[in-house]
Structures are given as structure tokens and as C-alpha cells.
Amino acid sequence: MKRLFLILLLAWGAGEVLAQGTDPEMTADTAAEADSVAYPTDGTPVPVGKATPDALWDRANTAYLNGDYHAATSIYEEILSRGLSSMKLYYNLGNSCFKEGRLGEAILYYNRALRLAPGNDDIRYNLRVAESRTKDSIEEIPEFFLTGWLRTLRHAMSCTAWSIFSLVALAAALGLFLLYLLARRLSLRKAGFYGTMIAVLLCIATMWCAAGERREMLDDTQAVVMSLSTAVKSSPDKSATDLFVLHEGTRVEITNRLEGWCEITIADGKKGWLESKNIETI
């Protein structure tokens, strides 16, 4: 049993390393500081369009540290335009957008970073700070406490980390089952039997968490309002009645799509239609 405990503890530690992949010291005021490298220049810097991703990364981080947030944002976006993405890239881009006052984009990129590293406290803190600056004060519908607790547990690690944990639990279950079958001493057979039951339950629980995290990563129904303000309509028509107004940075859930329009639901349960150009999916 001691060996099983050590194996599970090591697996959890390895999963946390894969889940985080970032320096926990980074906050809204120190974005990119841990990863920045001074960009060497001889007076003739390489144009952004021809620079390598590593060079762009260093240049963007240096621009951020020098207070040139507009340049940092532009270079981070250039990296994204090349089809590259990571938790750190989304996080740093969210920070630079926040510094520029581009609140909707900051919240969008923080949410994208959080999908890749759901257990990262720095991202959650910066996201809360950004959301506190939004104009819309929407009271969320209370949810059953167990639902919230299970979501918090699932967000403790990433999909990759939970998958590794489930594989380790499965291997432990197989090993303990062999111990139950092959051991001659009754005490070892009992340990193998009960250990197998515990390992199987752990495997099922961690597989559920991994599946939930993957489902959330692929979810395209969550979106952020990108316009400074936009009216929510009663139907997908510009001449329809205005129900209420949403502002930049408010998070919505898309429930239906129809020819350039999206039916959305906000946290307090209100529904309506928005033009697709006014929101961006997470």
C-alpha cells in the first residue's frame, strides 16, 4: 500500500507540472517578466513578418516590460496568426490587452488561457480583476453546491494531468488485481482486493474529470462581448425590439446560431439575440 501511495503521489505531482507549465509569479503587473529575454539588436532589427516565433516572443516580452503595450499586443497577435498558441501566450496577450484598456480582448484571452491551465491561480486572479472592470453587473443564478464543488475539483488539473492520473490508477488496479490472484497470504490477498476496488474508483473518477475538461476545452458555446455596447434583440432582426444592452467583456452562452445572429443567455438567465460580429467565442 505504501508503494501504491507513492506512485499516486508522484503521478499527481507530474500531472501538476504538465497542467501548469508556467511561472506562478506572473500577475497583471508582471506579465512576461519570468519569460522575457532582452531582444538583441544591432540597429537593424528583423521585420516582424520575417522573425522566428522565438524572436517574436522575446521581442513582445521586452516591449511589455518597457511599457510599450501596443507593440507587445501586436507581436503576440502575430504569433497567434501563425497558428501557434499556448497558455503563456494567451495569458501574456490578455495582460497586454488589459494594460491597453482592451477589456473584452483581455477577458477573452484570459478565458482561453484558463481552458489550457484550469488550475492556474494567477490566470483566475487576473480574470477576476478584468471582469470587475466590466460595466454589466449581472447576478448569477445560484447553483447546487455539489455541482460547484465538483467543477472546482475538476479544474484542479488539466485534461492531460487527469488523463495521466487515470492511467496510473488503471495500472495500479491491474497490479493489485494480480496481487489478489497470485498472493498466497490471506492478508496480501485482502490488500490486493480492496486496493483494486479503490484504484478502480480512482480510475473512474479521474477519467470523468479528464472527459469533463476535454469537453469544456472543445465547448464553442461560451463567448465574450467584444463591442463597447450592443443591444440584445428579441429576434434575429436589426429592427426587432431591444431587450437590454450588454457591454464589452460580458460573458454569454450561445444557445442557437442563425445566419449572422446568435441566441445568447446571460448569467441571470435572460435571453435574446446578438449579431455574431459583436461576440467572440472562447
Residue 150 pLDDT: 84
* Per-residue model confidence as pLDDT tens digits over 96-114: 999 999 999 999 999 999 9
Residue 45 pLDDT: 56
Residue 47 pLDDT: 66
CATH of 222-281, one of 3.30.420.40, 1.20.990.10, 2.30.30.40, 3.90.1150.10: 2.30.30.40
* Per-residue model confidence as pLDDT tens digits over 217-266: 888 899 999 999 999 999 999 899 999 999 999 999 999 999 899 999 99
- CATH fourth-level superfamily of 21-131: Tetratricopeptide repeat domain (1.25.40.10)
Residue 141 pLDDT: 72
Task: Assign 3-class secondary structure to the chain.
Answer: CHHHHHHHHHHHHHHHHHHHCCCCCCCCCCCCCCCCCCCCCCCCCCCHHHCCHHHHHHHHHHHHHCCCHHHHHHHHHHHHHCCCCCHHHHHHHHHHHHHHCCHHHHHHHHHHHHHHCCCCHHHHHHHHHHHCCCCCCCCCCCCCHHHHHHHHHHCCCCHHHHHHHHHHHHHHHHHHHHHHHHCCCHHHHHHHHHHHHHHHHHHHHHHHHHHHHHHHHCCCCEEEECCCEEEEECCCCCCCCEEEEEECCCEEEEEEEECCEEEEECCCCCEEEEEHHHEEEC
Residue 26 pLDDT: 38
Residues of the chain with pLDDT under 70: 1-49
